[in-house]
A and B are shown apart, each in its own frame.
Chain A
Amino acid sequence: MTEQAWNRRTFLGAATALAAALGVSPARLLAGLPASEAPTARHSALLREVSQLVIPRTDTAGAGDVGTGAFVSLALAHGLKDTRAPIKDAPAGWPLRADGSLRHDLWLERTLDQRAGGDFLARPPAQRHALLAALDAEAFPAGPPPAVPSPWRAIKALILTGYYTSEEGGSKELRYEAVPGRWDPDIALHKGDRAFSSDWTAVDFG
């Protein structure tokens, strides 16, 4: 709460900041990342592929198809889902920033390449799927979660966020009603009915 901080903000009030932010595209935000945080071409390709493996193309687009990889890069750089929080008791070899937070993208790249015994992206599709499925299964063990949760949990949460808040994921894979206009407290649920991405309380409480 310093005088200097105030001066920096005086000319950019909350309203102005919002108006400016709403005009900024995610692509520009991504391009604006410092070099140390900007994804390399390989990271971008890897996050796109991993997103697509989690949510593949069916009768609607997959997560990689709709730019979820780029969203995850932006989200990791800005620390969404607490991904910039310092990690206590991080296992040896985890790629940490100077502030003790984990470079999730580097961790994912190393982990998958290690499990693939080489270039994960060069493995055949079925093998990529199997390798990621194994990583996922270990991250969500039966029983209580481990003391240091797998970084994959946060990456996966960001992939889901990126996909289901995209227009394709939010309004084609799921249903999106901006203005329902009425409240039906009890209607029949039929097989094949899709959930609402615009049920904000459900999104909040999961």
Chain B
Amino acid sequence: MTNPDFDAIVVGSGITGGMAAKQLTEAGLKVLMLERGRPIEHGDYPTEMKAPWEMPFRGEGDAELYARDYPVQRLNRHFTEFTQNHFVNDVESPYQQGEGAFTWFRSYQLGGRSLTWGRQCYRWSDYDFGANQRDGHGTDWPIRYADLAPWYDKAEDFVGVSGAKEELAQLPDGQFQPPMALNIVEQTVRERILKQWPDRRLTVGRTANLTQGKPELGRGPCQYRNICMRGCSFGAYFSTQSSTLPAAQATGRLTVITDAQVEKLDYDPATRRITGVRWVDTKTRARKSATARLVFLNAGSFNSVHILLNSASEAMPHGLANASGVLGTHIMDHANTLSAAAIMPGFEQHTSFGNRPTGIVIPRFRNLDTLDGEGFTRGYSFQGGALQSTWTQGTREGGIGVAYKDHLRAPGPWRMVLVVFAESVPRASNRLALSKVLDPLGVPQLEINFSHGKEELAALADAKKEAAAMLTAAGGQVIFGFDHPGPGGTAIHEMGGARMGHDPASSVLNKWSQAHDIANLFVTDGAQMSSSACQNPSLTYMALTMRAADYAVTQMKQGVI
């Protein structure tokens, strides 16, 4: 290619797009970042400092508007009047549900879901990278923990992850900032569980909220508000805006174009390379394009697959980088539900101050060295925490008048909840396809086919039983629990569709997140995942992105790409 417009084009500006742009620009490349949504400047968070009484619907939001324009997004617990500006309008950005339901929670804006993510950062272990090989589901990962460990170090160091070291093989320790403390109930539950089950270690959530500021990056420490998803002008949690975008922009080599919905990649069969990227200006509907030596797809798992499917050509009739035919297949999302909620008596004289922006985690204890799960071979872990009720408990209680008001004035009883995330088994039948229905810009919509299987249901049944057993042993009174997962998408951990593997005949990407068929195409968001583990995946996406960027730059400098 003669004189491409850019050294690299990064499609997407979320957690991995931002990281790719940072790594590539810092390595000296001239980079174009394309974002389909609107621009958001760091600090331009109009609801961040608002009190409920300053909001037209008191923070609850206009249910009439939500029913009309946000019928899917409104199902997300974190979608409120304070955060609605950080989620897509479902009418403007439709998708099709094929077999099985899938609630697809999305944020189309500069920063993507880095503004709205749950911030939990967990390393995967060799139990995870070896899972497919062990039980035969999916295809074997071409990497192991040792390949990624140094990149986890770099990612955590830059992101700023607070957490406690626990020396667990299934949840490796990392480069942590000081942990946020457990509250008194959680600390007690930790000790009581350990007494009965020495292999079950309740620990505070490892979270991308700074306990120590990074003034050199313009980031302050957490203020314990726990309203992260409105946007944080303190820069205390990791987002594109607070972290990767300033770093990339500081190089002077980054160009950002927003309101640019990528439609397809151009492929040259003669050179077997991507030559450029085509997009639609969502404001003017003009079709535009740019050329580059290298393309990183970071549009968000399903949207990266969508672009590849929509980039079919005469040379690649079933979609770009799809010689294997597995593109779009084996998508996953953790099976997720509330396993147990319990009243925790005995702490009536205790309270806490501040809003900790993370909960607790009980790392996986099933199917480690021994296959001890009944009907499932993968893992699950719990997240949750202990909290004291406030006024909303009154909505479930009888009573009116002065005594009732006085009752609601005091902090309510301590409760503890355990929410399960169970590993999603990669299945060919869970797949993405191009729909014949077009979106408002004339692009074929994505069709999602997804159902949880019997393994996930078995894991959730076990999780309900074990959650109740642990909270009961810890002195709690379990009041309810569920063992049926929400629809696909509930965990907001959708991944897969362009899986990594050893064999070009059965996978889309090689061990460098690089397309088997196309040397200058990298997919480093969740689409590359071959299995789902039961940990929150974003940290792994970031480590894989840093590793892939390093490899791509080296290959480029050697003239291979």
Genuine A/B complex:
yes
Set of chain B residues within 8 Å of A183, measured between Cβ atoms: 180-181, 224, 352-356
| Neighbour of A5 across the interface among B38, B50, B51, B91, CB < 8 A | B91
Set of chain A residues within 8 Å of B390, measured between Cβ atoms: 174, 195-197, 199, 202-203, 206
Q: Does B388 contact A (CB under 8 A)?
A: yes
| Neighbour of B38 across the interface among A15, A80, A133, A140, CB < 8 A | A15
Set of chain B residues within 8 Å of A204, measured between Cβ atoms: 77, 392
Kindly name the residue among A24, A162, A179 whose own CB sees the greatest number of chain B CB atoms within 10 A.
Answer: A179
Give complex CA distance A22, B226 in Å. Answer: 22
Shortest C-beta distance, A154 to chain B (Å), equals 9
Q: Does A161 contact B (CB under 8 A)?
A: yes
Give complex CA distance A78, B66 in Å. Answer: 10
Q: Which of B373-397 contact A (CB under 8 A)?
A: 385, 387-397
**A contact patch SS:** helix
| Neighbour of A193 across the interface among B69, B397, B410, CB < 8 A | B410
The stretch of A39-47, A53-61, A107-115 in contact with B is A53-61
Give complex CA distance A80, B60 in Å. Answer: 8
| Neighbour of A136 across the interface among B94, B181, B400, CB < 8 A | B400
Give complex CA distance A157, B396 in Å. Answer: 8
| Neighbour of A133 across the interface among B181, B183, B400, CB < 8 A | B400
Set of chain B residues within 8 Å of A84, measured between Cβ atoms: 63-64, 67
Set of chain B residues within 8 Å of A205, measured between Cβ atoms: 387, 389, 392, 415, 417
Q: Is the beta-carbon distance between B411 and A195 smaller than 8 angstroms?
A: yes
Q: Which of B42-87 contact A (CB under 8 A)?
A: 46-47, 49-53, 55-60, 62-65, 67, 69, 77, 84-85
Give complex CA distance A84, B63 in Å. Answer: 9
Q: Which of B213-246 contact A (CB under 8 A)?
A: 223-227
Q: Does B157 contact A (CB under 8 A)?
A: no
Set of chain A residues within 8 Å of B353, measured between Cβ atoms: 180, 182-184, 187
Give complex CA distance A200, B82 in Å. Answer: 12
Q: Does B2 contact A (CB under 8 A)?
A: no
Q: Is the beta-carbon distance between A140 and B56 smaller than 8 angstroms?
A: no
Q: Which of A116-135 contact B (CB under 8 A)?
A: 129, 132-133
Set of chain A residues within 8 Å of B182, measured between Cβ atoms: 185
Set of chain A residues within 8 Å of B410, measured between Cβ atoms: 192-195
Q: Is the beta-carbon distance between B393 and A194 smaller than 8 angstroms?
A: no
Give complex CA distance A132, B401 in Å. Answer: 10
Give complex CA distance A199, B89 in Å. Answer: 28
| Neighbour of A180 across the interface among B50, B77, B354, B388, CB < 8 A | B354
Shortest C-beta distance, B274 to chain A (Å), equals 30
Known: A58-B405, A75-B57. A184 touches B94 (CB 8 A): no
Q: Is the beta-carbon distance between A165 and B223 smaller than 8 angstroms?
A: no
Q: Is the beta-carbon distance between B57 and A198 smaller than 8 angstroms?
A: no
Shortest C-beta distance, A112 to chain B (Å), equals 13
Q: Does B399 contact A (CB under 8 A)?
A: yes
Over the window 157-187 of chain A, the binary record of Cβ atoms lying under 8 Å from chain B Cβ atoms (1 yes, 0 no) is 1001110111100110110111111111111
Q: Does B118 contact A (CB under 8 A)?
A: no
Interface size on A, residues (CB 8 A): 81
Chain B residue at smallest Cβ distance from A50: B400
Interface size on B, residues (CB 8 A): 77
Set of chain B residues within 8 Å of A13, measured between Cβ atoms: 38
Q: Is the beta-carbon distance between B350 and A187 smaller than 8 angstroms?
A: yes
Give complex CA distance A166, B53 in Å. Answer: 5
Kindly name the residue among B49, B226, B355, B402 whose own CB sees the greatest number of chain A CB atoms within 10 A.
Answer: B355
| Neighbour of B63 across the interface among A79, A129, A200, CB < 8 A | A79
Chain B residue at smallest Cβ distance from A181: B223
Over the window 478-514 of chain B, the binary record of Cβ atoms lying under 8 Å from chain A Cβ atoms (1 yes, 0 no) is 0000000000000000000000000000000000000
Q: Does B404 contact A (CB under 8 A)?
A: yes
Set of chain B residues within 8 Å of A192, measured between Cβ atoms: 410
Q: Is the beta-carbon distance between B401 and A157 smaller than 8 angstroms?
A: no
Q: Is the beta-carbon distance between A187 and B417 smaller than 8 angstroms?
A: no
Q: Does B351 contact A (CB under 8 A)?
A: yes
Q: Does A92 contact B (CB under 8 A)?
A: no
Kindly name the residue among B38, B353, B388, B404 whose own CB sees the greatest number of chain A CB atoms within 10 A.
Answer: B353
Set of chain B residues within 8 Å of A198, measured between Cβ atoms: 225, 355
A9-B69, A140-B397 given; 6 more Cβ-contact pairs under 8 Å: A21-B56, A53-B400, A58-B406, A164-B408, A193-B410, A195-B411
Q: List 22 A-B contacts (CB under 8 A).
A: A21-B56, A26-B56, A55-B404, A58-B402, A58-B405, A133-B400, A140-B396, A165-B60, A167-B53, A170-B53, A181-B223, A183-B180, A183-B354, A183-B356, A188-B351, A189-B411, A202-B388, A203-B390, A205-B387, A205-B389, A206-B390, A206-B396
Task: Rank and list the top 5 A-B pairs by shortest CB-CB distance, nearest first.
Answer: A140-B398, A165-B52, A180-B354, A165-B58, A206-B392
- Give residues in A with beta carbon < 8 Å to B: 1, 3, 5-6, 9, 13-15, 18-19, 21-22, 24-26, 29, 53-56, 58, 71, 74-75, 77-82, 84, 129, 132-133, 136-137, 139-140, 153, 156-157, 160-162, 164-167, 170-171, 173-174, 176-189, 192-206
